[in-house]
A and B are shown apart, each in its own frame.
Chain A
């Protein structure tokens, strides 16, 4: 399997623009997670899905952030409008099913908002 795939790997945009990050989980995995990593706040869980349904979005910073999972093989994280403080590395991860299953991370998208 190719692992968790994220695109783009790097994104540079200007403040106020819309940004869309994409994730393809490992085939057959029921859970998908979006994390944000910054120097100041470390690794934070933003939202996660189970069988394409959002379960917990309490980590989403504000209404400018939204996430969707239209099918089992694709998810997006959208920021509109983007702000410089959104600059971070965004990771997607997926997990097969149960608690004892490993959470596999993608390579991340490094977002820079100017």
Chain B
């Protein structure tokens, strides 16, 4: 069965600093990978997704992620963090099962931004 691990539950960075959020997945076939962001009291919003092709994926709000098959990772990065980036970030892997297709989410990483 597929699974997603986000090793860091909390991360604090200073505004303007660079950011990397880690995501490791377990899936037997070629994975379909996603990053979502959840602001307080809000639903999840898609930041970016990877299906195939270029392993460096650009997303909204200046985020990017790199798929590394050898490391089973799909880490999210941003070169300069803004205070408005404080939120919870979820990595997800898409999979097929006998009944169809669905997303499995990691446990999330809560990002705090220091002024």
Q: How many A residues touch B, CB cutoff 8 Å?
A: 21
Any A CB within 8 A of the CB of B74 = no
Interchain CB contact under 8 A, B46 and A103: yes
How many pairs of residues, A versus B, come closer than 8 Å at their CB atoms?
Answer: 48
Interchain CB contact under 8 A, A102 and B102: no
Any B CB within 8 A of the CB of A12 = no
Any B CB within 8 A of the CB of A73 = no
Chain A nearest Cβ from B104, distance in angstroms: 8
Given contacts A56-B97, A100-B51, contact A45 B102 (CB under 8 A): yes
Task: Report B-chain residues with C-beta under 8 Å of the C-beta of A100.
Answer: 49, 51
Instruction: Assign chain B's interface to a size class.
Output: 20 to 34
Chain B nearest Cβ from A110, distance in angstroms: 8
Selected from A42, A45, A50, A55, the residue in CB contact (under 8 A) with B103 is: A45
Chain A nearest Cβ from B30, distance in angstroms: 12
Any A CB within 8 A of the CB of B100 = yes
6 sample A-B contacts, Cβ–Cβ < 8 Å, listed by A number: A33-B102, A56-B99, A91-B43, A93-B43, A103-B46, A103-B103
4 cross-chain pairs, A with B, having the tightest CB-CB distances, nearest first: A105-B43, A56-B99, A43-B105, A105-B44
Q: Please give the residue numbers on chain A whose beta carbons come within 8 Å of chain B beta carbons, in ascending order.
A: 4, 33, 42-43, 45, 48, 50, 55-56, 58, 91, 93, 99-100, 102-108
